[in-house]
Structure 1
């Protein structure tokens, strides 16, 4: 007998806030299928507040409340049966983060969970990442966000090590990263954790690498080479912000962060001696949907 449940996932990031609505289709003796029904992305750049001034501004708090009210209505219309809202780097570091969470709950009824980098990685790993990882290969998983980047090394089907660094696209744009200190730390971590591994493949996660992959015209499942990504990085850099918006049709809040994001992926590939990056369509919101379903089985 076919069973269909509808779930909602709210991802409150440093660069944008997303609502994913998905159907989970279950059938006896079969793996459940997740079908995305709707994805709404709102460009509320919380990181621009937090990483520079240390707190969420009143203006962005109001925008968050408006967004959550809209998400609540959309979930009602879609008939969502269960949902979870997770906040990452920017909300964790905001001095008024808990106050904003209480305000959102009071005005919208939506409870926001503050999650750390480790929990964020665990939620993402609950997705179909296991289908990508082959037991006889080595991988460096790189999830680039607005406030932090998670690095995880897999080899022979096992998780070797994982670490979150406070380097992200919004932090880099706002020049609040000590690059002289942090880049060498990341380089040392990647090199020491991939030492002795042959042919490391980078797995890229995040909105920017998904956009780059879409722009490449590659078929799903096909990797991007280091040479391609490096050339694309130079191509993006030589264009002005206005040109990236008008000629490449990038969203205004994507046209600036895409450059520092590409730099992070390139460095990860270089330091792990990887010549290719694969881009499965997975992220925090996908993981939230899957973990919600698994918790009810």
Structure 2
């Protein structure tokens, strides 16, 4: 598999052992420091719950931790990881008198080492993760990350930390100590006292241009605020809202949460929070509002990346000489838009399809007969064209957040008119939007209204790129995405697309039985488009695992 050998397409993994849950991130390292998240697994370990009188982790908590890590280890075992996963533990383990017991259990049972982060180190890694998501490298930013047992603050600029601190204020610990006892006034007083006695005065002295929030608590707050204005978003048809919210929007949300009765699950769900998140969201939202007040924050941008991505970024920076912590603004804006309109893990599925698209794109470029066909039509493919394909694959289904009917047309409008994609020219945005528009239903014809303003060369390129994209998506629908490699070559008067099967991501843990009727329905129309565009016959062959046999399916 390419990820196992290429320094630019490595599979890497990190585990964030938090107070509330353990989170596994599997990512692919792309050139120049770009990260593409492929899979995430989460286990609700709740280390901070039910400690012993001296603050130690209970035997039951240690067992839950080991069980969660064992499930992660099982999921990763068959993958061609570039290096062993990096495990980092935060406040619940950091503050436990018996943390050595957990480290020893993990080491003896799984042969894995756990790195216990200091609060300052945790804050620094969160900052590195934020830099992979938002274009704030050159700005002085304050990052706030609310976890289950602590909250991290870091002021950074140009990839360097200027100040970092960690406070023992977390949504789980505050819920256990105050919310469940119904002492909301005591909760506010406790938070204000802790903030007043903390070294946060240093943040005011340093100053900052932008405030960024990360972690599940802040992301879920932003999502609830976003959904609260959903009707306005729909009616405006601009789809231009960024990942941010104001102090006033946060205050209104806190008032709504406090107006609900304790344990009022349905009310919390109506506000946009899951049942699991809802148990701790009151403490998290009140804490965040008090932080806004204490530091004079008016607006907060939100990062979809945090500690896990920071851990992986540092892993890559230590190995790759060309790793760029300020990876290009175009990539960050694509990822941000894909996550903004994500639902039902569709971005995860799209991310897996990127690898298929890359294999097919490179296979066509390597094939002299196909490149000759393209040159006759004045079409020349380069890496920039793959970047358009990559962006379109990740964004093609964002319209599904609003509804399934004609979602490809909504995806086009969001990409073209939303103002989300930064660093692209208007023509480049149009290419990405058109690819998303034509990934399904009618194949783009030169006379189509959407292509009327395009040059002849651009029309031809759109048709070529769209052919590649549609075949890749069809392969995924057939579940042929679980392949190790793809070859395309010319034999006689036919091009062969040969797939060799492999289990290459977390969610596919068994061989998928390919049904010929499914393949016929999904793939045949797209191969017809290939033959129309390239004026060449093509067939698909799937080789068996022992590589001795193969079966032509189309």
- Could you state the TM-score of these two structures normalised by the residue count of structure 1? 0.86
Task: Name the Cα RMSD after superposition.
Answer: 2.9
1:184: Cα distance to partner? Answer: 3.1
1:163: Cα distance to partner? Answer: 1.6
Name the structure 2 match of 1:4. Answer: 9
Please state if 1:271 is matched with 2:319. Answer: no
Please state if 1:21 is matched with 2:22. Answer: no
1:18: Cα distance to partner? Answer: 0.5
SS at match of 1:127: helix
1:102: Cα distance to partner? Answer: 0.6
Distance 1:53 1:249 in 2: 37
Q: Which runs of 5+ in 1 are unaligned?
A: none
SS at match of 1:202: strand
Distance 1:20 1:157 in 2: 22
More strand by share: 1
Match of 2:136 among 121, 133, 136: 133
Name the structure 1 match of 2:75. Answer: 74
1:200: Cα distance to partner? Answer: 5.4
Change over 3 Å in CA distance of 1:155–1:108 after alignment to 2: closer
1:21: Cα distance to partner? Answer: 0.5
Is the 8 Å Cα contact of residues 213 and 224 (structure 1) preserved in structure 2? yes
Q: Deviations over 1:209-260 (max 9, x none)?
A: 1112223337674420111111111222223432256545644431122111
Is the 8 Å Cα contact of residues 139 and 155 (structure 1) preserved in structure 2? yes
Is the 8 Å Cα contact of residues 124 and 161 (structure 2) preserved in structure 1? no
Is the 8 Å Cα contact of residues 244 and 255 (structure 1) preserved in structure 2? no
Change over 3 Å in CA distance of 1:79–1:174 after alignment to 2: same
1:44: Cα distance to partner? Answer: 0.9
Change over 3 Å in CA distance of 1:183–1:223 after alignment to 2: same
* Correspondences of 1:125-274 after superposition (within 5 Å): 125-129=127-131, 131-133=134-136, 135=138, 139-154=141-156, 159-175=161-177, 180=189, 183-187=192-196, 189-191=199-201, 193-195=203-205, 197=207, 201-217=210-226, 221-240=242-261, 241=263, 242-244=265-267, 247-248=270-271, 250-274=273-297
Change over 3 Å in CA distance of 1:78–1:37 after alignment to 2: farther
Equivalenced residues, count: 291
SS at match of 1:146: coil
Distance 1:125 1:173 in 2: 26
Distance 1:291 1:155 in 2: 16
Give the structure, 1 or 2, with the largest relative contact order (CA under 8 Å, sep 6 or more): 1
Distance 2:121 2:310 in 1: 11
Is the 8 Å Cα contact of residues 223 and 277 (structure 1) preserved in structure 2? yes
SS at match of 2:48: helix
Please state if 1:38 is matched with 2:39. Answer: yes
Distance 1:47 1:4 in 2: 37
Please, which moves more after superposition, 280-289 or 211-220?
211-220
1:100: Cα distance to partner? Answer: 1.5
Is the 8 Å Cα contact of residues 153 and 194 (structure 1) preserved in structure 2? no
Structure number, greater radius of gyration: 2
SS at match of 2:28: strand
1:152: Cα distance to partner? Answer: 2.3
Change over 3 Å in CA distance of 1:227–1:200 after alignment to 2: farther
Is the 8 Å Cα contact of residues 8 and 19 (structure 1) preserved in structure 2? yes
